[in-house]
Amino acid sequence: MKLNLLHSIILIITFLTQSINSQGYICAIGGGSENYNDWSDEPYSWIVQKSDSGKIIILSYSTATNWLPNYFMSLGADTAYNKTISSTSIANLQSTYDELITAKAIFLRGGDQYQYIRLWKGTKTEEAIKYVFQNGGVIAGTSAGAMVLGEFDFSAQYGSVYPDEALLNPFNSKIKFENNFLNLFPNALFDTHLMERGRHGRLISFIYNIFYSSGRSIIGIGIDDRTAICISPDKIGEVMGSGSVSIFYFDSKTKSTILSGGKYTIENLKAHILTRKWKFDFENLEVSYIPPSAKSIDTSRIFQYPLTDIYLTGTDDINSILNSSFTQFLNTINPSNILVITHPEFSNLNLITNYLQSNNYSFTTLIVDSTSLDNTFDALKISNSTCMVLVGDSLRKLSLLNQTGKSVPDTFLSNILRKKPIFFFGNSGKIVGDFFVDNVDFDNLASYRGKMTNNSGLRIFGDFIFQPKIFESSDYYENRMSALLWGMMRNRKRLGIYLHGFSLLTIHSNNKSIKGTVTIPYIIIDSRQATFVDSSTYRASGSIGPRQVVAINNLYISISNHSNINYLIEAGKFDNLTSVEKKVSDSNPVEIISIQNYPNPFNSTTKFLIKINQENKNHFIGTLEIYDCTGRKITRTQIQNPALDLYEIEFDGSKFSSGIYFYKFSTISTTITGKMLLLK
């Protein structure tokens, strides 16, 4: 009897292991128009190939043209056609289920992912999609269709959310997740149109939200438009198409603080940005293939630190800066002789000089011009100044100050080496490094069409690329997000910072630190662990060069809007994060919990007894989820701020069949899993 029971349990466990590991293929596409003999041929051919050139059904909640079915058939599909499932009643028809399970591949069009969730969740359509996947078929989707392929989906129930909104408050009321629809790719969330819509910060906010609201550390997979990641059953994903795929997750170096008073910090979120032919192993969280096109990085090169104190702002709006960041700068340094440096034809210099005059500051101005770089009177102005201010809308003219061997640039460099502080208005701060990326703000398709340029900067902080104004206009999201990464890749620089608005970012040279007085968190990209870089070779119509998106492995991303912590450049981490965590912990103590279900094995019902830290019960959020032996979630219960430190949840399994089930109980800081046996 005991041997028979043991044999039965082994069979169940074997079945469970096979069921959890068995899956079909996933192709998640970041959006964008497909076309013959273009970027889409590779991923869409992959869909056809992995479906054995069989039937492809293209699903949507609204009608569509026959362009996509014809395209799939041109790539070798035996049959491809559109099917519109516009209501829950149609989604629940047995005939719908019977039709869909005959497909070798199912493709979800773009649109609004909430319509997929609202109309198809819990229906036979959902069952059919899962059936095709679990039987080795392909499930693909583009844009909104790709957004519903993970275990967690940004539902867009209350509309989309912009990246600055998400970074400002990762618990924004628009940010709602669905984790009980399809669930094809575990522990992951897909986001699309990543570079085009500047959604990197949004995706990071999603990961942060889920970590603190569900106690889960998930993988964020961000896909550029006209780009795909195609994932095989072994969970190896290959990047295809014109752009990049960004993969974010918490690793052993990652630390974070919970949102408190509108402030929070994430330190060293792991990231890989991958372009065409790169492969990623989602099982082991590592890059599994680096194509020959990639270039290795000399990791032993000398780090170039800041030569003087640098003050950066995130907008070109001079009036906004004057009464905020600029005032803070002047109150910090010796302003007895301010030198304002600009270039000819800059039209807003009077805004700054009027402000200085009205506040009784002593100042002079210097107009940088290629014909006057040996002007001894201008050189004397620089030498006599106690601090410098750079402003202008032509970065190339301002960067004439890097032409050593002439009196004006040489005196400017001497001031820097004498550690006289320097303030940059908005975009002018981009020239602070050895190099900067230009032509970012004049053509909204510059990055896509390879029109951004790489230029020599002032070499004040050599290992640095800076990009302000990242959320100032959605037309330039792609240019500004890609400019920093492309500049870091092109010039092998280790540190990059995105900044937004009239915030003030201070880079101190003595202790090699960065500090921000910001509302929307600044974003630090640290590539000192990167070993390979690559870039897209795709050329769109009207291009003068390849699309300017890049691959860089082993990045670490840190963000913060805490003004009382410093990012230590040498150490690659924040200095005061422990005390910030302690303050958060004082108001939200870490819960120490235990969970036990009884009886186990059970017949029909079992109860979970949850013990909660007495001190923490007023801040407690916990979620109990039950999974069947196929890995399908069957129930979810959440408790919040319980009155007692012991809490009981009953699970009724009367409508489920005998077998092994799994439970997972998650809080902000703890995840406990276990299995139980239902015997009827």
- Residue 496 belongs to domain with CATH number: 3.40.50.880
Name residues whose C-beta falls within 8 Å of residue 372's C-beta, 6 or more positions apart in sequence: 378, 408
Q: Does one domain contain both 322 and 453? A: yes
- Same domain membership, residue 506 and residue 398: yes
Does 499 share its domain with 372?
yes
Please name the residues in contact with 422: beta carbons below 8 A apart, sequence gap of 6 or more: 308, 309, 310, 311, 387, 388, 389, 390, 416, 460
pLDDT score, position 322 = 95
Round to whole Å and give the CA distance between 476 and 193. Answer: 13
Q: Both 612 and 492 in a single domain?
A: no
Asked if omega into 599 is within 30° of 0 (cis), the reply is yes
Beta strand pairing call for 338-342 and 295-296: unpaired
Residue 592's pLDDT is: 47
Q: pLDDT by residue (tens digit) across 309-345? A: 999 999 999 999 999 999 999 999 999 999 999 999 9
Residues 504 and 599 both lie in one domain: no
Q: Are 110 and 143 in contact (CB under 8 A)?
A: yes
Residue 390 belongs to some domain of the structure? yes
Which residue range is the domain that position 453 belongs to? 310-510
Residue 629 lies inside a defined structural domain of this protein? yes
**319 and 454 share a domain?**
yes
CA nearest to 312, candidates 320, 303, 304, 321? 321
Please tell me what DSSP assigns to residue 602: B
Specify whether 619 is located in the same domain as 488.
Answer: no
| Any domain includes 589 | no
Asked if the structure places residue 464 within a domain, the reply is yes
* pLDDT given at position 493: 97
Are residues 339 and 483 both part of a single domain? yes
245 close to 216: Cβ distance less than 8 angstroms: no
Q: Is 14 within the bounds of a domain?
A: no
Q: Domain ends where: 510, 532, 547?
A: 510
Last residue of a domain, one of 510, 535, 568: 510
pLDDT at position 670, please? 63
CATH number for 656: 2.60.40.1930
DSSP string, 491-558: HT-SEEEE--EEEEEEEETTTTEEEEE-SSPEEEEE-TT--EEEE-----TT-SS----EEEEEEEEE
Q: What is the pLDDT of residue 410?
A: 97
pLDDT at position 588 is 47
543 inside domain: no
| 461 token code pair | 């902080």
Q: Tokens 């902000």 map to which residue?
A: 668
Per the omega criterion (within 30 degrees of 0), is the bond before 69 cis?
A: no
CA distances 446 to 440, 443, 451, 456, 549, Å, are 7, 5, 5, 19, 11
Any domain includes 476: yes
Do 497 and 617 have their domain in common?
no
At which of 465, 482, 510 does a domain end?
510
* 458 and 598 assigned to the same domain: no
| 504 and 623 both lie in a single domain | no
Q: Which 3-state string (H, E, C) describes 273-341?
A: EECCCCEEECCCCEEEECCCCCEECCCCCCCCCECCCEEEEECCCHHHHHHHHHHHHHHHCCCCCEEEE
CA dist list (Å): 172 to 6, 221, 332, 471, 560 = 50, 20, 35, 17, 17
Reduced to 3 states (helix: H, G, I; strand: E, B; else coil), residue 615 is helix
Long-range contacts of 642-647 (CB under 8 A, 24+ apart): 642/612, 642/617, 643/617, 644/617, 645/611, 645/612, 645/613, 645/614, 645/617, 646/609, 646/610, 646/611, 646/612, 647/609, 647/610, 647/612, 647/622
As for how many domains the chain has, the answer is 2
- Cα angle 304, 309, 312; round to 5: 95
DSSP 109: -
Q: How far apart are CA 159 and CA 446, in angstroms?
A: 29
Which residues of the chain fall below pLDDT 70? 1-22, 579-594, 613-621, 640-646, 667-671
For residue 453, is it within any domain?
Answer: yes
Same domain assignment for residues 627 and 479: no
| pLDDT at 10 (0 to 100) | 37
